[in-house]
Amino acid sequence: CYQPEESRATLSAQHASKDHQVVVHTLFVEPFNPIVGAQYIALGEIEKNEEVGVMVQARVLNCVDGVNIALLQKAISEQRSFFKERESKQGDAAQAADAT
């Protein structure tokens, strides 16, 4: 469901017989021309909203129809692991510098 006057889209999905929804603020990605039934990936910040609870402030909102979702999820996991390892190494280096 897209509400252009409020710059808000509600993305829905069903997984393991459960319905899931996420509300996305689309102001920074407009014009947004949604395709009903398409799959989207939203990247942005999570913010609290009095009306809807939690909402994604989208910086990127792309249709991913035709994309291998399993491969995309694997790539995201690998990227997260890389960043976590890099942060850990930077923290270790900072502690070593503080010790000297």
Kindly state whether residues 62 and 72 are assigned to the same domain: no
Q: How far apart are CA 18 and CA 91, in angstroms?
A: 40
Kindly state whether residues 72 and 60 are assigned to the same domain: no
Q: What pLDDT sits at residue 100?
A: 64
Q: What pLDDT sits at residue 71?
A: 94
Q: Which residues, other chains included, contact 30 with Cβ-Cβ below 8 Å and sequence gap of 6+?
A: 4, 7
**What is the amino acid identity at position 28?**
F
pLDDT tens digits, residue range 21-77?
A: 999 999 999 998 999 889 999 999 999 988 888 999 999 999 999 999 899 999 999
* Domain total in the chain: 2
Which of the two residues, 98 and 70, has the higher pLDDT score? 70
Question: Which of 65, 64, 63, 45 minimizes the C-alpha distance to 55?
Answer: 45
Kindly state whether residues 17 and 36 are assigned to the same domain: yes
Kindly state whether residues 51 and 31 are assigned to the same domain: yes
Domain that holds residue 10: 1-66
Question: Which of 14, 17, 11, 53 minimizes the C-alpha distance to 29?
Answer: 11
Over 70: is that where the pLDDT of 82 sits?
A: yes
pLDDT band at residue 94 under the 50/70/90 scheme = confident
Kindly state whether residues 87 and 52 are assigned to the same domain: no
Kindly state whether residues 41 and 7 are assigned to the same domain: yes
What CATH number does the domain containing 24 carry?
Answer: 2.40.50.140
